[in-house]
Amino acid sequence: MLARVRRAPPRYWLVLVAAVLLIGLPTVVTSFQSSQWNLVLIFTIAIMGLNVLVGYSGQISLGHGAFMALGAYTTAILIARYHVNYLVTIPIAGLVTGAIGFLLGIPALRLSALYLALATFALAVVTPSLIKRPEQLTGGVQGIGLVPQEPPQFAAAAFSTVTGGTQMTSEQWLYYLSLAIAVLLFWVAWNMIRHRPGRAMRAVRDGEVAAAAFGINVAGYKTLAFGMSAFYAGVAGSLYGLATTYVSPDTFPVALSFQLLVGAVLGGLASTVGPLLGGMFVYWLPIVSSQTISDQSWIPEQISSVFVKAGPAVTYGALLILIMIFAPNGVVGLITSGYGALRKRLRGAGERGTGQMPPDPQTG
Amino acid sequence: MQEFLQQVVSGIASGGIFASLALALVLIYNAMGLVNFAQGEMAMFATFVAYALIENGMSYWIALPLALVLAFAGGVLIQRVVIRPVERAPVLTLVIVTLGLATLINGLAGFVFGYIPRSFPSPFSVQTVSVLGALISFRDLGVIAVSALVLVLIYLLLQRTTLGLAMRAAAHNPDASRLLGVRVSWMLALGWGLASAVGALSGIMVAPILLLEPNMMQTIIIYAFAAAVLGGIESPLGAVVGGLIVGITVNLAGAYLVGGDLQLAVAFLIIVAVLVIKPNGLFGRPSVRRV
Amino acid sequence: MELLELEEVHAGYGPTQVLHGVSMKMAEGEIISLLGANGAGKTTTLRAICGGVRWDGAIKLSGRSLHRMSTEDIVRSGLAHVPEGRGILTDLTVEENLRLGEHLRRDRDQVRKDYVRVFEYFPVLRERRRLSASTLSGGEQQMLALARALLMRPRLMLLDEPSLGLAPLVVRAIFEIIRDINRADGVGVLLVEQNARLALELSTHSYVLEVGRVAVAGLSSELKGNDSVRRSYLGY
């Protein structure tokens, strides 16, 4: 047993540490900070779905913000118009969005990656105007307001025992709710990726003709990936609506879809822990960067105000470009390749120099 | 009937604007098999540059060509700095890079020029002239004339000059073109420059109608997508015809069918319908389909 | 001065090395044939010369090193390469393909005369000049490629298997024209061929490659007469 523990690869330790930190977090930070980390988790869930789609099945969606909107509105409408219990609305939101994603996945099959990008981008741009139309249902431009959800008895009791009598707030409860759902969905994605569907999807991504020749149902797995990824976005949207207690067409601008893509790309496509890193980056980067930069007294006022005002868009845009140019495998890719290089170094550079070509490029 | 005719003419005017931006998309698609998601934002930024020039006392007819030249230079610069390092990367990578570019330019415009909508001057008056009983504004006619002029110039450049020939060759078959001494990478950069300038024109044409602000082109780019897809994304002629059809359709649908707020949804519908029913569009050549 | 000089050229694709030190020389206006079995490195040698593959060693065109030069610049310094598959731009018309051949030249009068010659050699190209190059047959595409190379007015032409997939009569005609262009323009021709008999007939000197090295080199007339070389390397 002990030997097994010792042999465990470092990533298992990382997962353990991350789990302890994530579970313990709300007991040490404020309720407001819990709500911020709740949004991190929500982004993580959406990015997990996008990661399945882009990283594993090789399709692309620039419209995941639209799927989140669908999930959020499903929850908001069910709660506000039909008084459904909010916990029940979460899976419903996921299923409704997933079903629509699955249906959209069918025409998407016929499209090349480029056209798919184009169509989903258009979807993201159109969504706000589509939401505004059925005013009876969606509240039009006004949107729908929700009441904060109170923590259930057992959770409140457990929380106050651990913290020594502190009352659990709605934000802290929603954080745990998102955490539980994120873990569950992570487990689902992790299992799918390691088993037959994951292998099939990767085969499809790396070459559809070859995959079809091996008897893989290319169309089936591509639509499955689309549906699954929409399901994740729908759940994330639902939790987002609950967290912000207010949904309106402007909650889901095109920029949201970009943000999710940035997160997926930044964390590293086709990596399992990437989405969490991506979620953290996407949420914290604009907040932290504008704070730190305006706090630095040595940076001239004019320059720092440039950075703060230019805001997230410039940072996201620049980051996307830089990552794609210098680290197309994302942060996780950088770390693993760095770790691999380090291990090789430690083992000795004996295997070097097998290539016979002198490193003298003739043409770029 | 007269009102219908008016709607059609103003549809043609919008169509000219969409066609310019769609043509920009087609130029870059032909150069490297890529849809440039930053095309609209590049146009928006160039329009701001034109605005700044006019604000500083320059006459419209000097500011316009100057802005186009600057847009051209900007397009070349973007290709050299941002696109060239990922030129050989998979198309997904390229798409993400152009999205990054779109976000970056949008943010920069917001920072430099702010988010307050500004009215942009038009050299054509909004007064109307009666054609066959329909009242048609000089602005619409001016937009149509300028768009048509530019489209003809682009056509002549690509089809009738050696430079245009080299650009087409570099786009279609870079390896074979290199063996003929064509500087492929620079041709691609010129393609970006040209696309940037043509796109900028659409921004400058549309700004007097929409008010200038960083998100101005966000809807126009969707119409341009619809136009390019409808025409067949690799066909310059298709971009023009597609632009006109989209312009007229959207205008008429907005006036008689769905209302102005869902015009964008009509464009979206056109995109989806074309992609599902006839992915090569009206003028595109059928490509080999996999699986 | 030699027109082309290769010294100990190593080249390959990624980890696979194809050329293991190829050296060769050709004089101004000469026809050289490069022979050898499939995979011996003939095409790779041509690619190295025009900068299409990474290489190490020395390659000089008229005494000028081609090291680190881009394909475009090498071509502009007087080289025409008709690659495997002929490098026809099938999206363009026949005429546009020809125009690309001469588009860098400034001597317009001479260009006009060259067009006359090209259409004398290949009348079919004049008939089809408005058609898309994709409508041409294999032999016609080879003619177009050769015509385009002629219009480039190079000092050195690299021809990669001009006989491939063509009917014997067409091959004969094309080889005659190659000889004619060589004599009229004084252009050096480096010819890669599977058809060793024809190539030896056309060329003055020949190099035979075997797994990335020069196995035999010499006067074509001597190689043709040498039975053991013929049997062991040229297979006829």
> What's the complex ipTM?
0.90
Residue A52 lies in a domain: yes
| Closest residue by Cα to residue C96 from B194, B287, B180 | B180
Give the E-state strand segments of A6-157 in sequence order. 144-145
What pLDDT is stored for residue B62 in this prediction?
Answer: 94
Give the E-state strand segments of chain B in sequence order. 128-131, 134-137
Quick one: which H or E segment has residue C111?
helix C108-121
- Chain B residues inside the 8 Å CB shell of A320: 96-97, 99-100, 103-104
Q: Tell me whether residues C68 and A362 touch, CB distance under 8 A.
A: yes
Residue A317 lies in a domain: no
By the 10 Å C-beta count (0-12 exposed, 13-18 middle, 19+ buried), C16 is classed as exposed
Q: What is the largest CA-CA distance in chain B?
A: 59
Q: Chains near B, with 3+ CB pairs < 8 A?
A: A, C
Q: How confident is the model at residue A143 (pLDDT cuts 50, 70, 90)?
A: confident
- Chain C residues inside the 8 Å CB shell of A360: 54, 56
Evaluate if residue A362 carries a pLDDT over 80. Answer: no
Give the E-state strand segments of chain A in sequence order. 144-145, 246-247
Euclidean distance between CA atoms C76 and A18, whole angstroms: 60
Q: Say what percent of chain B tops pLDDT 70.
A: 98
Out of B178, B180, B184, the one facing C101 most closely (by C-beta) is B180
Two structure tokens written together for A280: 């953290």
- pLDDT tens-digit series, residues C207-231: 999 989 998 899 998 888 888 777 7
What phi and psi values does residue B131 have, to the nearest 5 degrees? -120, 115
Question: Best residue in C43, C53, C72 to probe B by mutation, most B CBs within 10 Å?
Answer: C72
Two structure tokens written together for C104: 């860098």
Residue C10 lies in a domain: yes
What pLDDT is stored for residue A361 in this prediction?
Answer: 37
What pLDDT is stored for residue A162 in this prediction?
Answer: 83
What pLDDT is stored for residue A353 in this prediction?
Answer: 36
Among A63-67, C13-17, C202-206, whose mean pLDDT is lowest? C13-17
Burial A72-89 (b: 16+ CB within 10 A, else e): bbbbbbbbeeeeeebeeb
Q: C213, C20 in Cβ contact below 8 A?
A: yes
Q: Tell me whether residues C100 and B179 touch, CB distance under 8 A.
A: no
Pairwise pLDDT comparison (A59 vs B14), residue with the higher score: B14
Residue A153 lies in a domain: yes
Q: Say what percent of chain A tops pLDDT 70.
A: 84
Q: How confident is the model at residue A240 (pLDDT cuts 50, 70, 90)?
A: very high
Q: B223, B267 in Cβ contact below 8 A?
A: yes
Question: Best residue in B32, B91, B96, B277 to probe A by mutation, most A CBs within 10 Å?
Answer: B96
Is beta strand B128-131 parallel, antiparallel or unpaired with respect to B134-137? antiparallel
Which residues are within 8 A (CB) of C171 and not within 5 positions of it... i.e. 6 or more apart?
C162, C163, C195, C198
Evaluate if residue B65 carries a pLDDT over 80. Answer: yes
What pLDDT is stored for residue A306 in this prediction?
Answer: 61
CATH number of the structural domain spanning residue C24: 3.40.50.300
Q: How confident is the model at residue A176 (pLDDT cuts 50, 70, 90)?
A: very high
Pairwise pLDDT comparison (C164 vs B180), residue with the higher score: B180
Q: Chains near C, with 3+ CB pairs < 8 A?
A: A, B
Cα–Cα–Cα angle for A212, A213, A218, rounded to 5 degrees: 5
Whether residue A117 lies within 8 A of chain B, CB to CB, comes out as: yes
What pLDDT is stored for residue A148 in this prediction?
Answer: 86
Of the CA atoms within 13 Å of residue A170, those in its CB half-sphere come to 10
Residue A183 lies in a domain: yes
What pLDDT is stored for residue B276 in this prediction?
Answer: 83
Evaluate if residue A350 carries a pLDDT over 50. Answer: no
Is beta strand C205-210 parallel, antiparallel or unpaired with respect to C213-219? antiparallel
Evaluate if residue B49 carries a pLDDT over 90. Answer: yes
Q: How confident is the model at residue A2 (pLDDT cuts 50, 70, 90)?
A: low
Which residues are within 8 A (CB) of C231 and not within 5 positions of it... i.e. 6 or more apart?
none
- Chain B residues inside the 8 Å CB shell of C105: none
- Chain B residues inside the 8 Å CB shell of C72: 178, 181-184
By the 10 Å C-beta count (0-12 exposed, 13-18 middle, 19+ buried), C11 is classed as buried
Residue with tokens 């006829």, as numbered in its chain: C236
Pairwise pLDDT comparison (B32 vs B291), residue with the higher score: B32
- Chain C residues inside the 8 Å CB shell of A362: 11, 48, 51, 53-56, 67-68
What pLDDT is stored for residue A106 in this prediction?
Answer: 82
CB atoms within 10 A of CB C104: 16
| Closest residue by Cα to residue B15 from B194, B156, B148, B196 | B148
Euclidean distance between CA atoms B31 and B280, whole angstroms: 17
Q: SS3 helix, strand, coil % of chain B, rounded to 5? A: 75, 5, 20
What pLDDT is stored for residue A8 in this prediction?
Answer: 64
Distance in Å, alpha carbon of C71 to nearest chain A alpha carbon = 8
Q: Closest chain A residue to B102 measured between Cα atoms? A: A317
Euclidean distance between CA atoms A169 and A149, whole angstroms: 9
Pairwise pLDDT comparison (A22 vs A82), residue with the higher score: A82
Q: C101, B180 in Cβ contact below 8 A?
A: yes
What pLDDT is stored for residue A55 in this prediction?
Answer: 82
Is beta strand C31-36 parallel, antiparallel or unpaired with respect to C188-192? parallel
Out of A58, A132, A258, the one facing B99 most closely (by C-beta) is A258
Distance in Å, alpha carbon of C225 to nearest chain B alpha carbon = 36
- pLDDT tens-digit series, residues C100-148: 999 999 999 999 999 999 999 999 999 999 999 999 988 899 999 999 9
What pLDDT is stored for residue A303 in this prediction?
Answer: 67
Evaluate if residue B66 carries a pLDDT over 90. Answer: yes
Q: A86, A75 in Cβ contact below 8 A?
A: yes
Question: Best residue in C56, C67, C71, C75 to probe A by mutation, most A CBs within 10 Å?
Answer: C56
Chain mean pLDDT for chain C = 90
Q: Closest chain C residue to B172 measured between Cα atoms? A: C91
Euclidean distance between CA atoms B22 and B229, whole angstroms: 9
Euclidean distance between CA atoms B27 and A234, whole angstroms: 37
Q: Tell me whether residues B103 and A316 touch, CB distance under 8 A.
A: yes
| Closest residue by Cα to residue B61 from B18, B141, B122, B135 | B122
Residue C126 lies in a domain: no
Out of C15, C67, C68, the one facing A355 most closely (by C-beta) is C15
Q: Chains near A, with 3+ CB pairs < 8 A?
A: B, C
Euclidean distance between CA atoms C222 and C236, whole angstroms: 15
Domain count, chain A: 1
CB atoms within 10 A of CB B119: 11
CB atoms within 10 A of CB A115: 20
Out of B162, B173, B175, the one facing C103 most closely (by C-beta) is B162
Residue C49 lies in a domain: yes
Euclidean distance between CA atoms B274 and B259, whole angstroms: 22
Is beta strand C188-192 parallel, antiparallel or unpaired with respect to C156-160? parallel
What pLDDT is stored for residue A1 in this prediction?
Answer: 55
How many helices and strands (H and E) does chain A possess? 16, 2
Residue with tokens 């822990």, as numbered in its chain: A273
What pLDDT is stored for residue A345 in this prediction?
Answer: 62
Q: C115, C98 in Cβ contact below 8 A?
A: yes
Alpha carbon distances (Å) from B119 to A249, B209, B216, C202: 26, 8, 12, 74
Residue A351 lies in a domain: no
Report DSSP state, residue B231.
Answer: H
Quick one: which H or E segment has residue C19?
strand C16-26
Evaluate if residue A349 carries a pLDDT over 50. Answer: no
What pLDDT is stored for residue C145 in this prediction?
Answer: 94
Q: Tell me whether residues C103 and B178 touch, CB distance under 8 A.
A: no
What pLDDT is stored for residue B31 in this prediction?
Answer: 83
What pLDDT is stored for residue B291 in this prediction?
Answer: 35
Distance in Å, alpha carbon of C183 to nearest chain B alpha carbon = 23
Q: How confident is the model at residue A216 (pLDDT cuts 50, 70, 90)?
A: confident
Q: Closest chain B residue to A310 measured between Cα atoms? A: B111
What pLDDT is stored for residue A346 in this prediction?
Answer: 62
Distance in Å, alpha carbon of C44 to nearest chain A alpha carbon = 13
- Chain B residues inside the 8 Å CB shell of A324: 86, 89, 93, 96-97, 100
Q: How confident is the model at residue B290 (pLDDT cuts 50, 70, 90)?
A: very low
What pLDDT is stored for residue A227 in this prediction?
Answer: 92
| Closest residue by Cα to residue A175 from A16, A42, A14 | A42
Count how many pairs of residues, chain A against chain C, have C-beta atoms within 8 Å. Answer: 36
Burial A10-24 (b: 16+ CB within 10 A, else e): eeeeeeeeeeeebee
| Mean pLDDT of all residues in C189-200 | 90
Q: Is residue C234 helix, strand or coil?
A: helix
Distance in Å, alpha carbon of B172 to nearest chain A alpha carbon = 18
- pLDDT tens-digit series, residues B235-287: 888 999 999 999 999 999 988 888 878 889 999 999 988 988 888 888 877 65
| Closest residue by Cα to residue A363 from C159, B157, C48 | C48
Out of C10, C15, C51, the one facing A363 most closely (by C-beta) is C51
Out of C71, C99, C103, the one facing B179 most closely (by C-beta) is C71
Euclidean distance between CA atoms A151 and A157, whole angstroms: 10
CA A336 to chain centroid? 20
Q: A351, A357 in Cβ contact below 8 A?
A: no
Residue C200 lies in a domain: yes
Ordered by where they begin, the domains of chain B are 2-277 (1.10.3470)
What pLDDT is stored for residue A105 in this prediction?
Answer: 83
| Mean pLDDT of all residues in C39-49 | 92
Query: Could you list the residue range(s) of the whole structural domain that residue C68 is in?
Result: 4-88+155-234
Alpha carbon distances (Å) from C185 to A53, C60, C152, C177: 60, 21, 11, 12
- pLDDT tens-digit series, residues C57-96: 999 999 999 998 999 999 999 999 999 888 899 989 999 9
Query: Could you list the residue range(s) of the whole structural domain that residue A156 is in?
Result: 24-253
- pLDDT tens-digit series, residues A281-332: 888 877 777 777 777 777 777 666 666 666 777 878 888 888 888 877 766 6
Q: Tell me whether residues B181 and C72 touch, CB distance under 8 A.
A: yes
Whether residue C96 lies within 8 A of chain B, CB to CB, comes out as: yes
Q: Closest chain B residue to C76 measured between Cα atoms? A: B181
By the 10 Å C-beta count (0-12 exposed, 13-18 middle, 19+ buried), A183 is classed as middle
What pLDDT is stored for residue B73 in this prediction?
Answer: 97
Sheet holding C188-192, edge to edge: C79-82, C156-160, C188-192, C31-36, C205-210, C213-219
Whether residue A359 lies within 8 A of chain C, CB to CB, comes out as: no
Out of B85, B91, B108, the one facing A310 most closely (by C-beta) is B108
Strand partners, C80: C157
